[in-house]
Amino acid sequence: MEQADILALPRPKWKAEYLEDTSLRRLVLEHYDREHVPLLRYLALLGVDRETSRELVQESFLKLHEHLLNGGDRSNLRAWLYRVAHNLARNTQSAFRSSKTESLTGSEGAREPVSEAVSAEEELLAEERVKCFREAMNQLSLAQRECLTLRAQGFKYREIAEVLNLSVSTVGENVARALERLKDLL
């Protein structure tokens, strides 16, 4: 697996949790570095507000650590992460309350967030596109939005089905319906 995977190092198998755990912690942070922004994007597109997303992302990675500690399956940790984040979001009452992608709009938050630096014009243009996109996305059902977003994150239909607990054919239909609707709106 990843470079920092302790098991991949040429060392004997120490049957002690402690040693395992330290490398797992590193593995979790590696996944965090790679996936936290895409995960935040996914949650935002589902309509989860920023503060909730922040908590959900933290919780998802803590659960990943727990999963690894318990010797859980490592074959597709990325899909695993999305599934957990997704289920956490589902269970959070406020998360899907609006079911609109409002969280893509403003910066009403208290803390100073970090986003990529762009020129003022580019920012305006991007803002306009995002606003337009948000409106278009709101025309879609939640399942369509979920499927479309995961597809855009590079997941195969089979993986999306796994994350969302749907059949592969349903995923295909949702993506197709979503695209049909969006292509005329964008």
Residue whose CB is less far from other proteins, 33 or 73: 33
The window from 61-69, 73-81, 83-91, 92-100 that contacts other proteins (CB under 8 A) reads 61-69
Q: Which residues 6+ apart lie within 8 Å of 173 measured at CB? A: none
Q: Contact letters (x/-) for other proteins, 4-33, by CB under 8 A? A: --x--xxxxxxxxxxx-xxx-xx-xx--xx
The window from 55-63, 78-86, 91-99 that contacts other proteins (CB under 8 A) reads 55-63
CA distance 157 to 166: 10
- The CA-atom distances, in angstroms, between 30 and each of 5, 27, 65, 68, 147 are 10, 5, 11, 13, 25
CA distance 51 to 40: 10
> For residue 182, how many C-alpha atoms fall within 13 Å in the half-sphere facing its CB?
19
Q: Which position among 5, 30, 41, 138 is part of the footprint of other proteins (CB under 8 A)?
A: 41
CA distance 163 to 17: 29
Based on the shown chain and the rule CB under 8 A, indicate whether residue 76 belongs to the binding site for other proteins: no
Note the residues at the interface with other proteins (CB under 8 A).
6, 9-19, 21-23, 25-26, 28-29, 32-33, 36-37, 40-41, 44-45, 50, 54, 57-58, 61-62, 65-66, 69, 104, 107, 109, 111, 113-116, 126, 129-130, 133, 148-149, 151-152, 156-157, 172-173, 175-176, 179-180, 182-183, 186
